[in-house]
Amino acid sequence: MGTASFLKRARALLRIRNRLARECLAELLAVFVLILITLSGSAQMVTSSGTKGNILTAYLAGALAVMVAVYTAGGVSGAHLNPAFSLAMCLLEQFPWWKFPIFVAVQTAAAFIAAGAVYALYYDAIRHYGNGTLTVSGPQETASIFATYPADYLSISNGFLDQVMATAMLILGILAILDTRNKGVPKGLEPVAVALLVLSLGVSMGSNCGCPMNPARDFGPRLFTYVAGWGAEVFRWV
């Protein structure tokens, strides 16, 4: 009885009553989960030279990470996870504009923190694979674990089109899944449908740029690699 009473008082004390604070914390945790699993899938593929993962397993990890992240925060913040989705909600007048910069900052910060966690988790593997050096290009580069880079043949204009089209398909697909006037996804399985959407886009539109579709997912970890020692080359079109 005493323990139950103590736990009840502790929950009441730790409960966050401010709605915006709860939403931001939910978004922070969900994006952290998303990026932790996504980047870990890439790290396992790269550092094992493809023996413990390949491009398909990396895409699958990213898609399932989306599912887990949506289940994590969907009931609190709506699990935006992506500044592009937050912007779309603002344009559709389903999300207040004043919250937009706050959500973008939280999403980017969560991606940065998650990149640091992946670096710590795979520190030995990254150092071993790169022979102790952190490089952005070359046969033993490791920067692509954290951020996406264009294929050698890709022009800036084609890269821009690639990202616009892939992100548009992502937003269109999510809106279609969530539209109650459509045939509809069984209640509670919406995150699974979104994960399958992300997987389909990865395996069909991933060869040009890696199909990031999420500015926070790309910029946060890219900024981390710059700080962690990969250098300014992470921001150049190589």
Question: Whole-number mean pLDDT of the chain?
Answer: 90
Residues 128-181: pLDDT tens digits? Answer: 999 989 999 888 999 999 998 988 899 889 989 999 999 999 999 999 998 888
User: How far apart, in whole angstroms, are the C-alpha atoms of residue 111 and residue 109?
Assistant: 5
Could you tell me the residue ranges of all domains in the chain? 18-148+214-235
What average pLDDT does range 198-205 have in this prediction? 93
SS3 54: coil
Q: What is the CATH number of domain 18-148+214-235?
A: 1.20.1080.10
Amino acid at 165: M
pLDDT at 19: 87
The confidence band for 2, taking pLDDT boundaries of 50, 70 and 90, is low
What average pLDDT does range 24-48 have in this prediction? 95
Residues 71-127: pLDDT tens digits? Answer: 999 889 889 999 999 999 999 999 999 999 999 999 999 999 999 999 999 999 999
**Are 175 and 169 a contacting pair, CB within 8 Å?**
no
DSSP symbols for 57-116 = HHHHHHHHHHHHHHHHHTTTT----SHHHHHHHHHTTSS-GGGHHHHHHHHHHHHHHHHH
pLDDT higher than threshold 70 for residue 238: no
The confidence band for 4, taking pLDDT boundaries of 50, 70 and 90, is low
User: How far apart, in whole angstroms, are the C-alpha atoms of residue 66 and residue 192?
Assistant: 9
**Are 118 and 146 a contacting pair, CB within 8 Å?**
yes
